[in-house]
Amino acid sequence: MIESSANIEFKPRLRYGMVGGGQGSFIGDVHRKSIALDGMAEIAAGCFSRSADNTLATGAALGIKRERLYATYEEMAEEESKRADKIDFVVIVTPNYAHYGAAKAFLSRGIPVVCDKPLCIEASEARELQELAEKNKLLFCVTYTYSGNPAVKHGKALIKKGEIGKIHFITGEYPQEWLLAPSEKQGNKQAVWRTDPKLAGKSNSVGDLGSHIENLVHYFTGLKIKSLCARLDKIGPGRVLDDNATIMVEYDNGAKGVYWSSQVASGYDNALKVRIFGDKGAVEFNEEECNYIKFSQFGKPTTVLSRGRDPFDPHAQGFSRIPSGHPEGYFEALANIYKTFITALAKQKEGKPLTEDDLDFPTVEDGLNGVVFIGKCVESSDKGAVWVNL
């Protein structure tokens, strides 16, 4: 057991606003709780829903002043940008269709953005957001949650140090079972928009789950996908978008890989697993056991390294809050992304230079990579599962 690395130094309290995340929604509240974990920012404004009543009720429950509750994100961006006590950043947690418009509204008024994945629907929109953020020198985080796990950060450090050698093959799988039921026809809000192309975009299972695999593999290895061949299946009766997908990929270093995303895999809750194989060894991460990372070197016994107990890379260890054996998970991983992003934002406000570690959060470039990946998977599948270049 090790001491926890709880940080009790002075931390700047920034203000943030939220678009989406109204009562009855899923991820917005997870973001609020994850931000609250380190007390580095507090919520000050919101447009939580397209329903004004929901926004008012959510805002009242969160103790936000009535004058900072807005009917649309456009109005929120405009009014907040004029205030002396304006929000320091905005968090966008709507279904995918509104990400681009909301992010553009805030970026063009000088407000940094945190947006959930996928960044948006069209690659051209993602490039526009990237250019806008660069032009206005604004930090932009896309919350691919799983790279916030200390075990993932340690795995990345092992790979970077060459401990598994030259990477030659990668597998990524992300099975869930919840859409085996026709949930979208039974009023499940999260299922309704994920299965509707007007709200979700071009893909369901690749957009929702496959994009996490793409980002996590890139985070671990730094490899970029050069070409892919995808088959997207619509297994649930009447589905317009995929709920299962098989994707073969080739990376820029010549390594190969295979990804599988599914929401119709009986017996699986949220079983994201990535295995990275090199010519000296392998690293394996399983989201449902995210306090551990499996590490093997050819010819030696395989080890399962524990967050907290085993010596992790110092950067990775710095993201643990409690000793080993007390599981950390989803909230903490997202909190780690926020801790890094908010610290970078505060440093930037003070005019201090940002280091590579300061920028260890998924960026708008990661968002763009994800949108391109989703689009190319759909293109490949539509053409009959042919290889396409990225």
Ligand X SMILES: NC(=O)c1ccc[n+]([C@@H]2O[C@H](COP(=O)([O-])OP(=O)(O)OC[C@H]3O[C@@H](n4cnc5c(N)ncnc54)[C@H](O)[C@@H]3O)[C@@H](O)[C@H]2O)c1
Are 367 and 129 in contact by the 8 Å Cβ rule? The answer is yes
- Per DSSP, the residues of 33-95 read HHHHHHT-EEEEEEE--SSHHHHHHHHHHHT--GGGB-SSHHHHHHHHHH-TT--SEEEEES-
Q: Backbone dihedral region of 384: left (phi > 0), alpha (psi from -120 to 50 degrees) or beta?
A: left
Q: Give the Cα separation of 135 and 13 in Å (integer).
A: 26
**Interface residues toward ligand X, by CB under 6 A:** 19-22, 25-28, 47-50, 73, 93-96, 98, 116-117, 143, 145, 189-190, 193, 208
Closest separation between CB of residue 107 and ligand X, Å? 16
Closest separation between CB of residue 94 and ligand X, Å? 4
Tokens representing 97 are: 């269709």
Assess whether the previous peptide bond of 118 is cis (omega < 30° from 0): yes
Compare residues 19 and 133 and give the one whose CB is closer to ligand X. 19
Closest separation between CB of residue 253 and ligand X, Å? 27
Closest separation between CB of residue 96 and ligand X, Å? 5
Closest separation between CB of residue 116 and ligand X, Å? 4
Compare residues 78 and 313 and give the one whose CB is closer to ligand X. 78
**Residue 88 CA: distances (Å) to CA of 25, 40, 113:** 24, 12, 9
Compare residues 20 and 308 and give the one whose CB is closer to ligand X. 20
- Pinpoint the alpha helices (H) of 98-140: 99-107, 123-135
Compare residues 99 and 321 and give the one whose CB is closer to ligand X. 99
Compare residues 44 and 282 and give the one whose CB is closer to ligand X. 44
Closest separation between CB of residue 125 and ligand X, Å? 14
Compare residues 1 and 60 and give the one whose CB is closer to ligand X. 60
Q: Which residues, listed in sequence order, are joined to residue 167 by a DSSP beta bridge?
A: 278
